[in-house]
Amino acid sequence: MKSAVIPQIRVEPELRAELESVLRQGETLSEFVEATVKNAIAFRRVQTSFHARAQTASDEYHRTSVSTPIDAVLQRLQSKLDTRRKKLGR
């Protein structure tokens, strides 16, 4: 498959200088932009998925009027956090 070009954008010289100031040793502007675009795509996919799950949960609640108590939710989240911390050795 042939590679494609992302459209160029015009920016103020200050923004360009700021961008160049955060490049890592040996990193090119193109590599930075590509990595940033990939990260933005991944974030948007996670965000879209989260919103879809939240909408489904909201619809289900409005349909059934059944919800999970906040204490149970917080307990599950704390358990996940504790498990992750233990796995990381913290």
Q: Does 61 have pLDDT greater than 90?
A: yes
One-letter identity of residue 59:
D
Where does the pLDDT of residue 90 fall: very low under 50, low under 70, confident under 90, or very high at 90 and above? confident
Q: Are 6 and 33 in contact (CB under 8 A)?
A: yes
Q: What is the pTM of this model?
A: 0.73
Instruction: Report d(CA 87, CA 39) in Å as an integer.
Output: 26
The stretch 39-67 carries a mean pLDDT of 97
pLDDT bracket for residue 81 (50, 70, 90): very high
Tell me how far apart the alpha carbons of residues 41 and 45 are, in angstroms, rounded to a whole number. 6
User: Does residue 20 contact residue 29 with C-beta atoms inside 8 Å?
Assistant: yes
Length of the chain: 90
